[in-house]
Structure 1
Amino acid sequence: MRIEIWADVVCPWAYIGKRRLDKALADWAGEPVKPIWRPFRIDPTAPVPATSHEGSTEDELLRDLGILGDRDDTEAAQACAVGPAATATQTPPVAEIAAAEGLGSTWGAAWRASSHDAHRLLALAHRHGGAELQHALAEAVMKAHFIEGRDISLAETLGQLAADAGFPEAAALLADGAADRQVKELLLIGRARGVATSPTLVVGDRALSGAQSPETVTRFLRDAAGQPHRRLPAEVERLRYADALLDKRDPLGALTLLQPLLAEHGDEPSVRLLAARAYFASAQLGRAATVLEELVTHAPDDSYARLLLGRTLTRQGRTEEAAVHLALAAAMTPEYAT
């Protein structure tokens, strides 16, 4: 069974959640479980290079970690949380909980660091060494950040951690920009799948948000193990994720996921129509019009493509041409007349 851990390595609850997951897996008697780390960003604006937390107030640290928002609500807290309903004021100090989980009394990030390259390292670890190496490096990176006070945005830090874990080639791969696009795509896929909290455990279509207790994790695994997990072809999944991003009003993210499909399946009408919708939503009207004109030429009875073409031409100021397509769309599908 594959369990995905969507988490940010600079989120304290991700580290606590990992330790709780490890406890659950140590006592797990069911089918073998393969943990796979996926990227999440609680602080996407973290500066490069990192800045020191020295002299920061407690509230400033919490805001940097995504635990405390600028407003009095729970939205920011959900990005890095003990559970779906937790807020910073509802839980004991993180350091106390970390100590109770065996993470020692010396706790606290010394740096506000971008985690992007650390996520690249974890993606590369999985690609070159599998789940076991990746899981070990996730532990090493979070230990370096939260306990050892090291700057995990530095290439030297990540390279040394990888070498210590038996992955010496990681430094050169990171220097070459390896896994950059993969991490960016995975972040988009996580958003498309509705991942909103670090950590979130996902098995198939089931998800468990927050750093839950080992007992809760075990129940989650038991329930997930009893359900069939049918994986769709990768191309179909990618198309669905792009569609979901459009629904979340992220057309540029949708286009990012569509790029490989357009390159390999550029003649597929469903791919082209979704791309046209994304072009339209991102105000790339020329591209939208070009794709839609080709679609209605090959499929004159596609009322939705005609509707979208009419709307695109209207926004371009080509009202006479637009009227023809809008009228045809309404004739084929009357509800389009409203």
Structure 2
Amino acid sequence: MRIEIWADVVCPWAYIGKRRLEAALAGWDGERVEVVWRPFRIDPMAPRKAEPLAEWQIDPLADEALSACTPDGLSPVENATRVSRIAADAGLGTPFGAVWRADSGPAHRLIALAHERGGAALQDAVVEEVLKAHFVTARDISDPDVLAEAARAAGFADGGDLLASGAGTDRVREDLLRGKAIGVRSSPTLVAGKRALAGAQSPEAMTAFLRDAADTPPERELPEEVERLRLAESLLDKRDPLGALTLLRPLLADHGTEWSVRVLAARAYYHSAQLERARTELESLTAHSPDDAYLRLLLGRTLERQGRPAEAAPHLRLAAAMRQDEE
């Protein structure tokens, strides 16, 4: 059974959640569990060069970012106090807490590369070293040298060199989009199949989650192309057409003639204001399926947005007539 932990390494609850999951797994007598870490960003606007965390936290905009890593009902100050107490109880060290507002993007790349090169065990060791650097030894984990040191300590000797090469960028970008598509909204969130557990819950709650996940019959695994298409559609429904197009890119390259791929791409072009691309694709689609009311409507609206009302009008009239016939 695979458990995915969607978390940001600059979120203290991710570290607490890691310890609590470890406690749950220590007493677990069910099937073997593989734990895989996936990226989540609570502060995607963090500067590339780290800045003192205390200075940033007085900015009102910080509250919005911190809310993705704060239990409901707690202010950031109350959250910090509670985190320090719980971290001490969990043996994570005293004092406990970050000093730097650090861009976690490079750390997520290192973590993804660790899984790619050495599997779940190496990845977990890297996560531990990165979290320790950020929260216990107060290091700047956006610094490549700090991350290279963490990689070496975890047994990932070439991690620093891989990071410097830019490796892992596309993987993390796609994983972030996948997390958004499946509805991950906070750090940490545990996911097993279609089940999710948000927050650093108690070991008992995590054990119950593991038991429920183990008792749930596994769903039929979809082909990678189908899964990618579904995730892209979910992103479009969540009003992220550019994210949808990012996930569609391999499908457009390898399966660009597939009807479902073309229709979804046309929708994403339209909603991302790439109107000429949308028009070209929709004209081709309507030529092959002239009785599709939705495609006619979308083509008409595309032409309207391009300032071509005379060309749009026939398509809009046809779409309206087709929909009346359907009723």
Match of 1:97 in 2: 86
What is the TM-score normalised by the length of structure 2? Answer: 0.94
Match of 1:179 in 2: 168
Residues 29-68 of structure 1 correspond to what in structure 2 (within 5 A)?
Answer: 29-53=29-53, 56=55, 59-60=57-58, 64=62, 68=63
- Cα separation, 1, equivalents of 2:59 and 2:92: 19
Match of 1:219 in 2: 208
Match of 1:115 in 2: 104
1:330 shift after superposition? 2.5
Task: Confirm or deny: 8 A CA contact 2:36 2:120 kept in the other structure.
Answer: yes
* 1:321 alignment partner AA: E
Equivalent in 192, 195, 203 of residue 192 of structure 2 = 203
Residues 231-242 of structure 1 correspond to what in structure 2 (within 5 A)?
Answer: 231-242=221-232
Residues 148-167 of structure 1 correspond to what in structure 2 (within 5 A)?
Answer: 148-167=137-156
Match of 2:74 in 1: 87
Task: Confirm or deny: 8 A CA contact 2:129 2:153 kept in the other structure.
Answer: no
- Cα separation, 2, equivalents of 1:299 and 1:127: 43
Judge which range, 155-164 or 200-209, deviates more: 155-164
- Cα separation, 1, equivalents of 2:163 and 2:78: 39
Match of 1:73 in 2: none
* 1:29 alignment partner AA: D
Equivalent in 216, 234, 239 of residue 244 of structure 1 = 234
1:111 shift after superposition? 1.0
Task: Confirm or deny: 8 A CA contact 2:99 2:139 kept in the other structure.
Answer: yes
Match of 1:310 in 2: 300
* 2:316 alignment partner AA: L
1:38 shift after superposition? 0.5
* 2:130 alignment partner AA: V
1:78 shift after superposition? 4.2
Match of 1:169 in 2: 158
CA 325–63 in structure 1, closer or farther in 2 if over 3 Å, else same: closer
Task: Confirm or deny: 8 A CA contact 1:329 1:336 kept in the other structure.
Answer: no
1:13 shift after superposition? 0.5
| Deviation digits for residues 106-138 of structure 1 (CA, Å, limit 9, x no counterpart) | 211121100000000010000000011111111
Residues 124-139 of structure 1 correspond to what in structure 2 (within 5 A)?
Answer: 124-139=113-128
Compare the two structures and name the one with the higher helix fraction: 2
* 2:242 alignment partner AA: L
- Cα separation, 2, equivalents of 1:283 and 1:198: 32
1:100 shift after superposition? 0.7
CA 320–203 in structure 1, closer or farther in 2 if over 3 Å, else same: same
- Cα separation, 1, equivalents of 2:153 and 2:66: 34
Match of 1:14 in 2: 14
Task: Confirm or deny: 8 A CA contact 1:201 1:209 kept in the other structure.
Answer: yes
- Cα separation, 1, equivalents of 2:131 and 2:58: 20
What is the TM-score normalised by the length of structure 1? Answer: 0.91
- Cα separation, 2, equivalents of 1:278 and 1:331: 25
Is 1:267 the equivalent of 2:257? yes
Match of 2:25 in 1: 25
Query: Where do 4+ consecutive residues of structure 1 move more than 6 Å?
Result: none
Match of 1:72 in 2: none
Judge which range, 136-145 or 164-173, deviates more: 164-173
CA RMSD of aligned residues (A): 2.0
Aligned partner of residue 36 in structure 1, secondary structure? strand
1:320 shift after superposition? 2.3
- Cα separation, 2, equivalents of 1:185 and 1:336: 39
| Deviation digits for residues 26-48 of structure 1 (CA, Å, limit 9, x no counterpart) | 11110011001000001111111
CA 258–26 in structure 1, closer or farther in 2 if over 3 Å, else same: same
- Cα separation, 1, equivalents of 2:36 and 2:167: 18
Aligned partner of residue 328 in structure 1, secondary structure? helix
Task: Confirm or deny: 8 A CA contact 2:296 2:319 kept in the other structure.
Answer: yes
* 1:28 alignment partner AA: W
Q: Which blocks of at least 5 consecutive residues in structure 1 are unaligned?
A: 70-75
